[in-house]
Structure 1
Amino acid sequence: MGDRILDALGRRIAAILDKRSPGYEPTTPSDPNALRAALRPGDILLVEGDTRISAVIKYLTQSTWSHAAMYVGPIQGLCEPDGEPHVLVEAYLGDGVISAPLSKYRDFHTRVCRPVGLTEADQQQACRFMIERIGLDYDLKNILDMLRFLIPLPIPVRWRRRMIAFGSGDPTRAICSTLIAQAFEQVRYPILPKVERCAKDGEQRVKGQAARREILHIRHHSLYAPRDFDISPYFAIVKPTIQRGFNYKKLRWGDAPAEPAGEDAAPTLSSVA
């Protein structure tokens, strides 16, 4: 009886946190065709979410990004009724680990982060790790993890990241980048490791400076947030519009004289003050 009550309460809190924030408008929705053409398996898709929990995560991390999903390519046997394949794997509050089509984020501001130099074997292993976890259900009875997102703002700076990682219940994994961080841990690919610098064994001090080398230490996966892929020195930012071939001379501005529009005409742009 007690477990059922806690589970029902947890689902109610999750529903509140997942409600859309009033007045939200995406800054610059991505071109869906350019985005689809640019993505490769292993890429991270960052999303500027529009829900209440998204607003809190963006505040706590001081970032545009509130959600992250991994692009794994078409997943066999998973598609929309219209035939669109599921190509993303994400952990989402209330739903657990799910797959999704790229069109889910058609109207959102997104960013693509690509692990640089990731081998094909490691890429496949990371994607397989994500796909194998589709269907994992998170225990909503641990409501402590979710209650912290209802705490009134502002939050002291020193507590913000801890607020995201606080707690030991499964919902934490469903609202941050833990699952993706675990996938990269499997192949020892760094995101934002702690760096320890020390003198190389057997080397002497030269001109008062110690010869140093860097040792990377993996942070605990619960401490990662979507913004970490954006600021990581090991992930490249991929701009789909530029990657497909951008020529500003071909843009049509709204205040320019009207011209016949062909099939390949660029969208009309408006100047923003």
Structure 2
Amino acid sequence: MFKSAYLKLRDKINNWLINEPAAAEIMPYDFNRLKYEIRPGDVLLVEGRSRISKIIRTITQSPWTHAALYIGRMIDFEDEEIKKLVRSHLPDEISDNTRLIVEDMLDQGTVITPLNFYHNHHIRICRPIGITPADLHLVVNYAIKALGQPYNVRHLLDLTRFMLPWTILPRRWGSSLFRTSSGEPESGICSSLIAEAFTSVHFPILPFVKPDEVQGIEVFQRNPYLFTPKDFDYSPYFEIIKYPLFNPDEPLPYYRRLPWTKSGFLHHDDGILAGPQKKTKKSLFKRKEPDLPETQPEQKERASSQADEADTPKSSHEKEP
């Protein structure tokens, strides 16, 4: 009874945390170009809109709140065991041509998701630089073998406690972040799974480098449990791939071809549009109005007035010199 009530409460909290509102704007990239040019082993960074995404954004101070690993399509897999493992975690309606990613979800654990699921999300692709095809194959297989692992909520809480600027107890006490890995895929969060996969082939993400008397420098792999999505964006060993909504390779500069609004309105986020304010300068001195040229009727009237004054006799008080 208590277990059933606990599970219902947990599901309600999870749904409340992961529920995402609809996108308020069109994403500024070409998803069709992205899905045809993406490669297995690419890391996808996602800007989420859910409540848990807002929490992660606040903690990490980065817009990237989720990470996933692109593994390709079923028809691209040569290893039959890997192909069977992937198929066992997919619904029957998913075809062999569907582009797939591996990700860790709060309510599901490590799962396979079609790439099209993030069609209406802001996405950035991080591509590992210089990795060999053999090592890339091992990275993808490592992530696939983690399928079915539960999402490690404690890991998320410990990472939050570790990254906060203040704490009551020492950050390492009772933390799951500093245990030694067994070398096999374990339950974690989205970014730690991907970090483990690349660490398994000694590919650097954000390694620690210190001076060494013998070989000049010594490089240490960073604890994969300390990684967040933004680290793949910051890493100098990943190339950032972008696919803008308008093709920048055409002769006419793409920014000249953008359908800019002619209304002059500015977007202030949160769906607010406002017209530009005109700047006015106030002078401390009163401005003198310029003398306007007289019209022809005014000139005739003035000449007639001067003639009448000439014909008028002078008064007795006015004497000729």
**Residue among 186, 189, 204 paired with 2:200:** 186
Structure 1 residues 127-172: Cα deviation after superposition (integer angstroms, max 9, x where no partner): 0111122222347xxx656678999xxx85467xx99xx8539998
1:4-153 aligned at under 5 Å gives the runs 7-20=7-20, 25=24, 28-75=27-74, 76=83, 77=87, 78=90, 81=93, 83=95, 85-138=98-151
Q: Is the 8 A contact 2:192 2:224 kept in 1?
A: yes
Identity of aligned residues (%): 33
Structure 1 CA distance, aligned partners of 2:3 and 2:212? 51
Q: Is the 8 A contact 2:19 2:50 kept in 1?
A: yes
Instruction: Point out which structure has higher relative CO (alpha carbons under 8 A, 6+ apart).
Output: 1
Does 75-84 or 122-131 show the bigger shift? 75-84
Structure 2 CA distance, aligned partners of 1:8 and 1:198? 55
**Deviation of the 1:271 alpha carbon:** 8.3
In the alignment, does 2:185 pair up with 1:177?
no
Tell me the equivalent position of 2:288.
none
Matched letter for residue 179 of structure 1: L
Q: TM-score, normalised by structure 1?
A: 0.72
Q: TM-score, normalised by structure 2?
A: 0.62
Change (3 A) 1:171 1:60: farther
Matched letter for residue 214 of structure 1: I
**Deviation of the 1:18 alpha carbon:** 1.1
Q: Is the 8 A contact 2:159 2:226 kept in 1?
A: no
Cα RMSD (Å): 3.8
Count residues in correspondence. 237
Structure showing greater Rg: 2
Can you give the 5+ residue segments of structure 2 that lack an aligned partner in the other structure? 75-82, 178-184, 269-321
Q: Is the 8 A contact 2:28 2:245 kept in 1?
A: no
SS class of match (2:210) = strand
Change (3 A) 1:197 1:122: same
In the alignment, does 2:232 pair up with 1:229?
yes
